[in-house]
Structure 1
Amino acid sequence: MENSQAVEAGNYVLVDYTVTLEDGIAFDTTVKEQALEAGIYDEEKKYTPLFFRADARQVIKGLDRGVLGMKEGEEKTLIIPPVEAYGEYKAYLAQDIPLERLELQAPPEVGEEITTPGGRDVKVLALTDTHATLDFNHELAGKTLIMKVKLVSVIR
């Protein structure tokens, strides 16, 4: 193939990846076999390479920049700090919300994920008779991601 050149900003790429946290437990992958091995297989998910334009802010910054310079067929492990992934955890995004504003049929449980009337998926951190403390941070905020990436194809 002609695609032996390194990925440059603006190239379209296809990558397979498997993402773990620092504990080594995989939580997302584009590879069916990896999903089965990690016990995270979802029969409704299509396990196909991710398509995006390199260095165009279509994916998290660590992956966006991490593919630059890779060649077709190359594999590498990216260590992506929170600032290049889903941001630092922000304590002010954990907020006490009156239960009546949540429009739920029954009070939520601590640890449960609920959807707010505005459509945000949030985690319940604490609960009283009148309020729920909800975490509006992304579930991966503050986490370092370990991403094993294989460059499947470069489209110029």
Structure 2
Amino acid sequence: METDCSDGNRLQDLIRNDKMAEKGEFIELEYTGRLKDEGMVFDTTSEKTAKEEGIWDKNMKYGPAIVCLGEGQLLSGLDQKLVGKSVGKHTIELAPEEGFGKKDAKLLRIVPTNIFRQQKIDPVPGLQVNIDGAMGTIRTVTGGRTVVDFNHPLSGKEVVYDIDLKRVVKDDKEKVKAFVSLALGLKDLDVDIKDSVAVISTGKEIPQEIAEKLQEEIARLTDIKKITFTKNNTEKEAEKKEK
């Protein structure tokens, strides 16, 4: 006697798809990144860990983060390796080319030491400097020559991420808020959704070209068809008082 398992298989597929992270989906996660060899923590969503490791930043918003897989919101290797992962805890190792890149000798530049002295900068190894808008790290200072490394400080390093993938996010309001917050670098904004239209209160003016690009991306990634940016009520009241 044969048994029709199609209904059971469909149910298993639904359960599996709801808990697996796929490209283009939004996920909520917590993570801690550390160097594989040294064990030094360089990034984390945990405020407790940040304080323990001496990397706490008062300007950083700690706690679970919501990101969209495949949209370049994470390191490329991490982005790729999270696809297909189930909800739960994972340890992911990244080779240099999957993380912060390999060391590139072309990004080492010799700068006359007196240029730093003229700007009242004492060039010492390890000091980070801004030269022509590019951040670099001083590697050596010999006589009148200073070698500045414009590679990422973690380039050439193998890194390990401890991931707690909490859930696959289904709510469009959460998706829009997370995507716009990350794109604009805003910590607090309000999102209201009605009839596939999202009204986003940012507290600041958003240039039209940026608003149009965000609308295009959000329409591609969610069921929201239109977004509108407004200032929040507090700023509107302040503007009225000034007038």
TM-score bin, normalised by smaller chain? 0.7 to 0.9
Amino acid at match of 2:136: V
Q: Contact 2:111–2:148 (CA<8 Å) still a contact in 1?
A: yes
Cα distance in 2 between the residues matched to 1:151 and 1:27: 19
Following superposition, the deviation at residue 100 of structure 1 comes to 5.5
1:44 to 41, 46, 59: 59
Q: Deviations over 1:29-81 (max 9, x none)?
A: 00112223333323332112233211222321221012212233x11000011
Aligned residue pairs, count = 153
Following superposition, the deviation at residue 101 of structure 1 comes to 5.3
Percent identity reads 29
Secondary structure of 1:123's counterpart equals strand
Secondary structure of 1:33's counterpart equals helix
CA distance change for structure 1 residues 101 and 37 in 2, over 3 Å: closer, same or farther? closer
Partner of 2:90: 76
Higher relative contact order (CA 8 A, sep 6+): 1
Partner of 2:210: none
2:74 to 37, 52, 59: 59
TM-score by length of 2: 0.57
Partner of 1:96: 110
Q: Which has the higher helix share?
A: 2
Partner of 2:133: 119
Cα distance in 1 between the residues matched to 2:130 and 2:67: 29
Amino acid at match of 2:44: T
Larger radius of gyration: 2
Partner of 2:45: 30
Q: Which has the higher strand share?
A: 1
Following superposition, the deviation at residue 150 of structure 1 comes to 0.9
Amino acid at match of 1:5: K
Following superposition, the deviation at residue 121 of structure 1 comes to 1.7
CA distance change for structure 1 residues 107 and 35 in 2, over 3 Å: closer, same or farther? closer
Cα distance in 2 between the residues matched to 1:135 and 1:36: 28
Cα distance in 2 between the residues matched to 1:56 and 1:45: 22
Following superposition, the deviation at residue 122 of structure 1 comes to 0.9
Cα distance in 2 between the residues matched to 1:106 and 1:86: 28
Q: Which moved more, 1:36-45 or 1:89-98?
A: 36-45
Following superposition, the deviation at residue 129 of structure 1 comes to 4.4
CA distance change for structure 1 residues 8 and 92 in 2, over 3 Å: closer, same or farther? same
Cα distance in 1 between the residues matched to 2:90 and 2:120: 48
Partner of 2:149: 135
Cα distance in 2 between the residues matched to 1:94 and 1:16: 35
Partner of 2:22: 8
Following superposition, the deviation at residue 104 of structure 1 comes to 2.4
Following superposition, the deviation at residue 107 of structure 1 comes to 3.8
Amino acid at match of 1:30: T
Secondary structure of 2:18's counterpart equals coil
Q: Which runs of 5+ in 1 are unaligned?
A: none
Q: Which moved more, 1:77-86 or 1:102-111?
A: 102-111
Cα distance in 2 between the residues matched to 1:70 and 1:59: 15
Cα distance in 2 between the residues matched to 1:48 and 1:12: 16
